[in-house]
Structure 1
Amino acid sequence: MIYITRREHFNAAHRMYRDEWSAEQNAEVFGKCANPNWHGHNYNLFVTVKGEITHATGYLIDLKDLKKIINEYVIEKLDHKNINLDVEFMKGKMASTELLCIEIFNQLKAPVEAHEGVFLHSVKLAETENNSAEYFGE
């Protein structure tokens, strides 16, 4: 079994807050991330797929195809958007990196696995060079 990872990049804004909490409680729990004027990140997304190499091509999947899937199902929906307001698959969910990572995995699973013998292994989402989340579909 081989594992292949594709890195993509997007910029997006979000705010961490709960409507039912006071401004003080949101600030206490989420700190600067509760800023009512939003804040943004330059996200790096790592999508890892796995499977057996097709010996005729030497590929698991053509990376141009993987790039197209990631762009269509994730990047176009997130890049230069407000995660809380503009991203349909995040409606009603906290816009944390952890939950965003899980939802990106959910967006990619079916289109990636529509390629015979290719399986989505993991999605890793880095919101800063020091902070990231990784999800394996568990």
Structure 2
Amino acid sequence: MPQLTICRSEHFNAAHRLHNPAWDATRNQQVFGKCNNPNYHGHNYNLTVRLTGDIDPDTGYVFDLKQLSDIIKTQVLNRFDHRNLNLDTEDFRELNPTAENIAVVIWRRLRAALPAALTLAVTLHETDRNFVDYYGE
């Protein structure tokens, strides 16, 4: 059977602050600018999850998109939506919640919940103009 990529898009809203505790306030401001606001700031994140694999001859699916939606809800949305990533999540207590790091964390959470035979990639849009792609380790 041919390989195909299926995609599921979701969105979540979250606040964060980009900050390196090893740096002084001046350096944090120089590197992170407005994103270093001590009172945090928020984004409307758009997430696209892509799974690539063989089409199952019995179902015609690469993977059931409803099941993928449920996994994304459990592994990502329920943990991050309407949260302060720095304060409300274990994932970012010690990890700077940049778009890059958020994408890697999401990828790892999803990878653990999906069949190993499927290739996983995530795209995370922090704004309409800024986004990252992560294809895994």
User: TM-score scaled by structure 2?
Assistant: 0.93
Q: CA deviation at 1:12?
A: 0.2
Q: 1:34 aligns with which of 32, 36, 54?
A: 36
Question: Any idea what SS the aligned residue of 1:50 has?
Answer: strand
Q: 1:72 aligns with which of 62, 71, 74?
A: 74
Residue 52 of structure 1: aligned partner: 54
Q: CA deviation at 1:3?
A: 0.4
Is the contact between residue 111 and residue 120 of structure 2 (CA under 8 Å) also seen in structure 1? no
Q: Measured at CA, do residues 86 and 30 of structure 1 come closer, stay the same or move farther in structure 2, by a change above 3 Å?
A: same
RMSD: 1.2
Counterpart amino acid of residue 88 in structure 1: E
Residue 123 of structure 1: aligned partner: 122
Is the contact between residue 8 and residue 49 of structure 2 (CA under 8 Å) also seen in structure 1? yes
Q: CA deviation at 1:90?
A: 2.3
**Structure 1: segments with no counterpart, 5+ residues:** none
Q: CA deviation at 1:91?
A: 2.5
Q: CA deviation at 1:29?
A: 0.8
Is the contact between residue 14 and residue 83 of structure 2 (CA under 8 Å) also seen in structure 1? yes
User: TM-score scaled by structure 1?
Assistant: 0.93
Q: CA deviation at 1:37?
A: 0.7
Residue 113 of structure 2: aligned partner: 111
1:79-118 Cα deviation digits (max 9, x unpaired): 000111111222210110001101110000021126xx4x
Residue 65 of structure 2: aligned partner: 63
Equivalenced residues, count: 135
Q: CA deviation at 1:135?
A: 0.6
Structure 1 runs (4+) deviating above 2 angstroms are none
Is the contact between residue 97 and residue 125 of structure 1 (CA under 8 Å) also seen in structure 2? yes
Question: Any idea what SS the aligned residue of 1:2 has?
Answer: strand
**Structure 2: segments with no counterpart, 5+ residues:** none
Alpha-carbon distance in 2 for matches of 1:41, 1:120: 28
Alpha-carbon distance in 2 for matches of 1:15, 1:44: 18
Alpha-carbon distance in 1 for matches of 2:58, 2:20: 53
Is the contact between residue 107 and residue 120 of structure 2 (CA under 8 Å) also seen in structure 1? no
